[in-house]
Structure 1
Amino acid sequence: MHIQEWLESVPAVSVYLLVGVVIGVESLGIPLPGEIVLVSAAILAATQDHIDPVVLGACASAGAIIGDSIGYLIGRKGGQPLVDWAGRKFPKHFGPDHVAMAESKFDKWGMWAVFFGRFVALLRIFAGPLAGVLKMPYWKFLIANVLGGIVWAGGTTALIYSVGIVAEPWLKRFSWLGLVAALLFGVGSFLVMKRRAQKAAAAHEAEAPVATAAD
């Protein structure tokens, strides 16, 4: 079966559920390619009439908000031992350098770290649980979480869908290239944030001896 025919046979509800669940689980604190899935689904909506971009954006927003909220509650109950456990379980995502970067952003921006963290690959995984670990007031977290989830999910869907509509003839002819482009976009953003995390960890280690000497 040609890939275009296969894509046309995929039930819309399956796409909506997949996007909502993957983004929700990622927001909960488990490393999954939420952005890649959302971008791929938005491209799919631009080329397949049976997938509604509005419903897609709503499902993505719901997954982001619910997942982050659950992550916050887990972080609030689990505390620092949860971060330590995640570091052992997922060292490539929750290693000391990643945690140092996330904590520095939270210290600097507070609730805005939750909002803007939605747009950043690594912070998107950390935002909910770390906000709970750091005991951020829930009302502040909720406002930033809802606004960030809607703006990120809705904005990403609208942007990719609009670009997809313009490029629809090309995408329909080379459907697999659209999916590859979405994959490369997600991997690229992850690598950029990984480099930033390493720089933040280096800065954190450099500040530690100074703080110790001051004590």
Structure 2
Amino acid sequence: MDIASITHALTRDAVWVVFFNVLLQQLGLPIPAVPTLLVAGSLAGWSPGAALLLSAAVLASVAADWLWYLAGRAFGYRVLSALCRLSINPGSCVTQTEARFLRWGVWSLVVAKFVPGFSTVAPPIAGSLRMPLASFLAAAAIGAALWAGAALLAGWLLRDQLQAALVLMGGNEALVLALLALALLLWVAAKLWQKHRFERAASIPHIGAAELLQAMRSPRPPLLLDLRGAAMAAETGPVAGATPADLEHLQDAVRHWPRDQPIVTFCACPRDATAIRAAVELVRAGYSGARPLAGGYDAWMQQLRTAAAPA
């Protein structure tokens, strides 16, 4: 389909195109909705159609957010972990998204649409933390209205430039596709570089759950640093003997610990990402005995159950 056909379809069925585009994006598909909103805004102007477009975008966004909220409420932290496993760079996904949510609270849902990668993962966190549904829906609707309204308004204000750009693209479709492919390639390259940096950090020596259990029975057991997010900790409870911490305040958590004391970091995130980052930071700070726990929280709980089971 060429540019002219896309523009014609958007002019004829703008409300439905906007609704399904926003819905699919908010459900997690890599289908950007902002370009559609910009073009739709440039075509609608201040007519009653603009209100319908805004309503369609808000309805689609809130519907998708509500489904993710229900998933988070039903399945808890596992939803966020599963979403982050789909990321090219899962190493920072869990930590960054939950930290943002806890820092901003209900306002995180208002600004989520403006933060790439955050709009899909914020609702399941809200569900897993049992945020009241009324507060969630109100914040999600306000955020969607601000996001979609800003895009539609920008499309109207830049209508002449957008229409000129559409005409230009209509005569240079091969060049447009090449530029889009180049932009996609640069984005993937940046993500792969981040992934490469994480892989290098992940080469730090780990400790297995069985080895940790044996070490805990020694005269000088390692100190445990629990880097699970607040959502996971609230859902499953504290870990005996472990000190809760997060990456932002890591140094505060270990301030009074001997630098030669063995430290084991663990989390409940894909590929032990947060535990690895914490261990690397601690080693750089002089805590040479810091090691991440292979398999994280799940592996440690399984090891404890195995050890407690009758022979």
Judge same fold: TM > 0.5, yes or no.
Answer: yes
Alpha-carbon distance between aligned partners in 1 of 2:91 and 2:162, rounded to the nearest angstrom: 43
Match of 1:174 in 2: 168
- Whether 1:37 aligns to 2:33 is yes
Shift of 1:172: 4.6
- Whether 1:152 aligns to 2:150 is no
**Who wins on radius of gyration, i.e. which is larger?**
2
Seen in structure 2, the aligned counterparts of structure 1 residues 168 and 92 have a Cα distance that, compared at 3 Å, is closer
Q: Helix, strand or coil: the match of 1:25? A: helix
Alpha-carbon distance between aligned partners in 2 of 1:130 and 1:105, rounded to the nearest angstrom: 11
Question: More strand by proportion, 1 or 2?
Answer: 2
Give the AA of the match of 1:69: W
Query: Bigger CA drift: 39-48 or 68-77?
Result: 39-48
RMSD value, Cα? 4.2
Seen in structure 2, the aligned counterparts of structure 1 residues 99 and 10 have a Cα distance that, compared at 3 Å, is same
Q: Helix, strand or coil: the match of 2:117? A: helix
Give the AA of the match of 1:25: L
The answer (yes or no) to whether the contact 2:10–2:40 under 8 Å persists in 1 is no
Give TM-score, length-normalised by structure 2: 0.52
- What is the count of residue pairs matched by the alignment? 200
- Whether 1:92 aligns to 2:88 is yes
Identity of aligned residues (%): 21
Q: Which 4+ residue blocks in structure 1 deviate beyond 3 angstroms?
A: 11-15, 51-54, 175-178, 204-215
The answer (yes or no) to whether the contact 2:77–2:125 under 8 Å persists in 1 is no
Alpha-carbon distance between aligned partners in 2 of 1:73 and 1:53, rounded to the nearest angstrom: 30
Query: Bigger CA drift: 39-48 or 76-85?
Result: 39-48
Shift of 1:135: 2.0
Gaps of 5+ in 1: none
Give the AA of the match of 2:51: V
Match of 1:129 in 2: 124
Which structure has more relative contact order (CA 8 Å, sep 6+)? It is: 1
Alpha-carbon distance between aligned partners in 2 of 1:172 and 1:48, rounded to the nearest angstrom: 15
The answer (yes or no) to whether the contact 1:20–1:63 under 8 Å persists in 2 is yes
Gaps of 5+ in 2: 202-245, 258-311
Give the AA of the match of 2:3: I
Shift of 1:126: 1.2
Match of 1:16 in 2: 15
Query: Bigger CA drift: 65-74 or 127-136?
Result: 127-136
Question: More helix by proportion, 1 or 2?
Answer: 1
Alpha-carbon distance between aligned partners in 2 of 1:102 and 1:167, rounded to the nearest angstrom: 35
Shift of 1:153: 0.9
- Whether 1:60 aligns to 2:57 is yes
Shift of 1:13: 5.9
Seen in structure 2, the aligned counterparts of structure 1 residues 72 and 167 have a Cα distance that, compared at 3 Å, is same
Q: Helix, strand or coil: the match of 2:30? A: coil
Give the AA of the match of 1:21: F
Shift of 1:110: 0.4
